[in-house]
Amino acid sequence: MTDKANDISSYFKGHLQEIKKEKEKIDKLLKELNQRVRVATKTIGEKYNLKKYIYLGWSFLGCFR
């Protein structure tokens, strides 16, 4: 029975490592996307003089983190 338990344990450990790698990739992509969105909103805000509204929007969205 312990051999079977060890096999199952190693099976899930392998999957856990794969999940961690995928999570790191997703976190990196989300960080890059967030940066691009911030740059875009800043550019649009400066172009159309909407800075205070964009700031309020980001503050509102920040409360959901």
What pLDDT digit, counting tens, does each position of 22-48 carry? 999 999 999 999 898 888 877 777 777
Mean per-residue pLDDT for 3-28?
A: 86
What is the total count of domains within the chain? 1
Q: Which domain holds residue 43?
A: 2-62
Question: 49: left (phi > 0), else alpha (psi -120 to 50), else beta?
Answer: left
Tokens of 23: 């999570």
Query: Higher-confidence residue: 43 or 54?
Result: 43
Query: Higher-confidence residue: 59 or 39?
Result: 39
Mean per-residue pLDDT for 40-64?
A: 70
Average pLDDT score over the chain: 79
Q: What amino acid occupies position 50?
A: L
Q: What are phi and psi of 39, to 5 degrees?
A: -65, -45
Q: Which of 65, 63, 64, 61 is CA-nearest to residue 41?
A: 61
